[in-house]
Chain A
Amino acid sequence: MIAFIVRRLLTGLVLLAAITTFGFTLLYLGGGDIARKILGESADAQTVAQKSHELGLDRPVLAQYGDWVAHAFSGDFGSSWFTGQTVSAAIFSRLSVTLSLVIGTVLVVAVVSVVLGVLAATKRGWIDKVAQLLAILGHAIPGFLFAVGLVLFFALTLGWFDPTGYVPFTEDPTGWVKTVTLPVIALALGGIANVTQQIRGAVIDALRNDYVRTLRSHGIPERRVILKHVLRNAAGPALAVLAVIFVGLLGGAVIVEQVFAIPGLGQVAVQATTQGDIPLVMGLLVATGVIVIVFNLLVDLAQGWLNPKVRLS
């Protein structure tokens, strides 16, 4: 088991190295004259050259990358070119907001999908129809469009929730619920559609297995057959989809945060992008890469716990 974790961690590190190398090369080579961009069109050539030197941009890319990596290992990802704030500070202050949104969504997706998926697979009938309809809608309508609809209806028309803003849970739990509910619903819809379908299919497949008949032949109650045996075997494929969904959620959160004016990573990302603030963009790549790798590791561990073949190999 420990060898398994170590192997996955190493794979994650290699992946992270690949992401940073790739990202760094593209960002620093493809960006054109960065100093000129920072200073604006009016600056004279000498000031631009000086700025370039100041930022180390006149050195070979490889050397710049080496510096970046060396600093990154000590937790220093440089500073924003425009605000002067350190990259780690800029990202860390927003990370908890985005993560609470995304993790909340993952939990909602997991719980709703398991319940709905199992019911749709075993009961069929109307509940299956509802699940299918939800799947089509959730699949077709992008989260941010759905978010706009939610704002219009629940916040502006009914006034049940706050249309914009974010209150940390530690400050005011009710306020947190009021601000976070709509974004989570908007984000979760797509995931629920996808994972419910996956669980429904996996449960139907698992129910067709020969061992289900054998379990029933032992007189094991149907509920126990489904909740203990079928669900356990269906969980593997569902978890795999959850891992894919998670990556999509991080991206989706960026846009949905804009709709609700939530001060998360999305704001930093959009700002850094429009300004071409490359150290900040680089920091964002690393942060999301690390989050995804950690989440995938958790999913792999869960898979190993669920499936003895994975665990023992």
Chain B
Amino acid sequence: MISPAHTTDPEIVVAPRDASKVSLFRRVLRNPLAVASMGFLAIAVITALFAHFLAPHDPNTAVIQNVLAPPNSENLLGADGAGRDVLSRLIFGAQFSLAGALVALLTSMIIGVSGGLLAGYFGKWIDTAWTWVISLMMALPTIIVLLAARAVVGPSLWLSMLIFGVMLSPAFFRLVYASVTAVRNELYVDAARVSGLGDGRIIAVHILSVVRAPIVIQSAIVGGIALAVQSGLEFLGLGDINVPTWGSMLSDGFTNLYTSPMLILWPALAIGLTLISLTLLANSLRDELERSNAPRKQRRKAKAPAATEAEAPSEIIRHEESGAPDGEVVLEVTNLSVGYPSPDGGLKKVVHDVSLTVRRGEVHGLVGESGSGKTQTAWSILRLLPEGGKIVGGSIHFQGRDLAKVSERDMQKIRGRSIAYIPQEPMSNLDPSFTIGSQLVEPMQIQLGISAKEAKERALSLLARVGIPHPERTFAAYPHEVSGGMAQRVLIAGAISCNPDLLIADEPTTALDVTVQAEVLDLLRDLQKEFRMAVVLVTHNFGVVADLCDRVSVMRLGRIVETGPTEPIFESPRHPYTQELLGAILSEAEPRGPLVTAGNSASPSPKGAVR
């Protein structure tokens, strides 16, 4: 029973147009700070280009009687310590300072980008050589190198900016190198290679497109650094006295700081505003870039709340109990709703009016596809919703208290002690910086108030209980030293360490291999019986439900559509969605059988044998 006839293929319906497709630069234009920055930079560039026409005087002509002259009709901003017109020097300063920074920027970009592309894409010895040269450059303070260079070549703005560009190339190299090594291993680059694309084309189409925007951002930053360092050098008096730059004006102003403090103001302002503009521009570009990449990341987590309110609530189908249910009620969730703030200021609900009851010793399965709200429901019972998530309605009764209303402080005492949690991904759920043992001991000491020694003994016996062959060795190991299956056993040991009454297991076997999954399912079943725990088991796998659950609730788009004891639901599902899901299970389907070609069938080749 594949592709049921009663639904049109929902895969065919394409989501509405994504607004974030507008180009990055056009979106940046909506940010007023970025526009102001670009405006200022444009003015500075125009001033630099047309300095010859704009400046009233020659920037280097010194008039002795004008030394330190205050602003007047001849020298609008006054004259400096050598009697040169400040305004003209400011205007020409734009030309030389910016051109100098540009030299450094272009040099570093050409070296850094090409080196990063080559080393990142081809790897091997090119990589090793480049990485060495780069770390050599990064080990020396740039100023010292520039001073050393100045000692040899004398004061030259262009040469020192060229050398500075070389010293700055690691900024581009590291950026491009990191992007390229990340992209090189992306599957779409493999796919391009399989499609027959050459290296040049792969770099041009697939890799440059990824690093283009970061390079623009980095350029703004590097340009700023070049201007700052250039000004610093000139400030030290190491510049060429015949080249009017903002930095040399600073130097002159600082010498005359006590007599004429205004002299330092103009170049300081010009440099300061240019640098702030570049920084703001880089920041807003980066913010936009991160924003446009965000939706992709979110979806990849596959846990992004996807349910919508559009769906009209339909009747929940409840299956009859075979007998009167026994056992005390441990957890009673009533009309639980969970929401996230949406970008338009409203609230996006991802769980709608979910109700479920779990008794002692009972395993209740929450089953559904991604975006069904099953994990959100589980997390809200623990009150561990991701940032922004809120319980917006209903109650969660547990041991006589409504967990939806309990204070965070009280909740901390309940979590781990009375309600425990088993996560999906074993490896990412252990803190990589601490030993497995310390992560088991810590909660026991906090929750049970026992000594470190006692907690360690307990942890070792728990590790043995969950089937870890060498408890002592695993206790001392770091998470990356054990396999995924072992790590999941460790997490299970941690969950049961304080004898909880309720266990929330979120896809506890999804990340595991089938044979390991079977072992972990056995372990969970045994532990659940031994401790008589109530369990909420979140899963997308009906096999796991069939294996472990007493009762099951099928979820779709944030709602429970069908609920009841496990057997009747599997035998006679009544909701069309449950029917569709069960119908999609392949174990019901016939195997494909041998290949039939025109006339004769392919018999298994001679290799088709057990080895």
Contacts and interface: CB of A to CB of B under 8 A. Distances in A.
A and B touch in the complex (CB under 8 A): yes
Interface of A: 15, 18-19, 22-23, 26-27, 30-31, 136-137, 139-142, 144-145, 148-149, 152, 209-211, 213-222, 229, 232-233, 244, 247-248, 250-252, 254-255, 258-259, 269-270, 272-278, 281, 284-285, 288-289, 292-293, 296, 306-309, 312
9 smallest beta-carbon distances between A and B, as pairs: A251-B143, A219-B416, A218-B443, A217-B421, A251-B141, A218-B416, A142-B228, A219-B415, A140-B275
Nearest to A193: B279
Contacts of B272: 140-141, 145
A220 B443 contact: yes
B136 interface: yes
Interface string B413-443: 1111101110111001111111100000011
A30 B153 contact: yes
Contact of B254 (A148, A232, A252, A277): A148
16 contacts: A136-B283, A145-B268, A210-B423, A210-B424, A217-B421, A220-B442, A222-B408, A233-B431, A247-B139, A252-B232, A259-B254, A269-B143, A270-B237, A285-B140, A306-B433, A308-B480
B147 A269 contact: yes
A217 B446 CA distance: 13
Given A136-B279, A140-B278, A229-B433, A27 B415 contact: no
B216 interface: no
A19 B148 contact: no
A149 B76 CA distance: 24
Given A210-B423, A250-B144, A281-B148, 11 more contacts: A136-B276, A145-B268, A217-B382, A217-B495, A218-B443, A220-B412, A247-B141, A251-B141, A270-B237, A273-B151, A285-B140
Interface residues of B, number: 76
Given A30-B152, A270-B236, A214 B429 contact: yes
A136 B279 CA distance: 6
B474 interface: no
A152 B261 contact: yes
Contact of B446 (A145, A219, A308): A219
Given A218-B443, A255-B235, A273-B238, A139 B153 contact: no
B278 A273 contact: no
Contact of A217 (B153, B231, B254, B416): B416
B139 A218 contact: no
B139 A217 contact: no
B224 A140 contact: yes
Interface in B125-174: 135-136, 138-145, 147-153
Contact of A213 (B145, B423, B447): B423
Contacts of B81: none
B180 interface: no
B391 to A, nearest CB: 16
Nearest to B478: A308
A259 B425 CA distance: 56
A197 B333 CA distance: 42
Contacts of B412: 219-222
A269 B136 CA distance: 21
Which DSSP category, helix, strand, loop or mixed, fits chain B's interface? Answer: helix
A217 B384 contact: yes
Given A272-B151, A273-B150, A278-B151, A19 B136 contact: yes
Nearest to A244: B138
Interface string B275-297: 11011100100000000000000
B290 to A, nearest CB: 11
B557 interface: no
B235 A144 contact: yes
A276 B152 contact: yes
A292 B141 contact: yes
A68 to B, nearest CB: 15
Interface of B: 135-136, 138-145, 147-153, 221, 224, 228-229, 231-232, 235-238, 250, 254, 257, 261, 264, 268, 271-272, 275-276, 278-280, 283, 379, 382, 384, 408, 412-417, 419-421, 423-425, 428-435, 442-443, 446-447, 478, 480-481, 491, 494-495, 504
Which residue among B150, B231, B491 has the maximum number of chain A CB atoms within 10 Å of its CB?
B150
A26 B415 CA distance: 66
A62 B289 CA distance: 52
B232 A288 contact: no
Nearest to B417: A219
A146 to B, nearest CB: 9
Contact of B433 (A23, A221, A233): A233
A83 B609 CA distance: 89
Contact of B280 (A136, A216, A220): A136
A137 B413 CA distance: 44
A296 B384 CA distance: 40
A214 B421 contact: yes
Contacts of A148: 250, 254, 257, 264, 268
A211 B152 contact: no
B139 A292 contact: yes
Which residue among A19, A145, A244 has the maximum number of chain B CB atoms within 10 Å of its CB?
A145
Given A30-B152, A218-B416, A210 B428 contact: yes
Contacts of A149: 268
B443 A219 contact: yes
Which residue among A31, A137, A217 has the maximum number of chain B CB atoms within 10 Å of its CB?
A217
Contacts of B153: 30
Contacts of B478: 308-309, 312
Contact of A144 (B232, B379, B384): B232
A152 B254 CA distance: 11
Given A18-B136, A254-B143, A284-B148, A308 B432 contact: yes
B232 A19 contact: no
Contacts of B140: 19, 247, 285, 288-289, 292
Contact of B414 (A137, A219, A312): A219
Given A145-B268, A259-B254, A15 B139 contact: yes
A194 to B, nearest CB: 11
B141 A248 contact: yes
Contacts of B425: 210
Given A15-B139, A141-B275, A284-B148, A214 B491 contact: yes
A288 B152 contact: no
Contact of A215 (B149, B268, B424, B431): B431
Contacts of A27: 148, 151-152
A22 B419 CA distance: 64
A296 B421 CA distance: 41
A255 B143 contact: yes
B603 to A, nearest CB: 49
Contact of B152 (A19, A31, A218, A275): A31
Nearest to A255: B232
B129 to A, nearest CB: 12
Contacts of A152: 257, 261
Nearest to A22: B136
Contacts of A259: 254
A152 B446 CA distance: 54
Contacts of A19: 136, 139-140
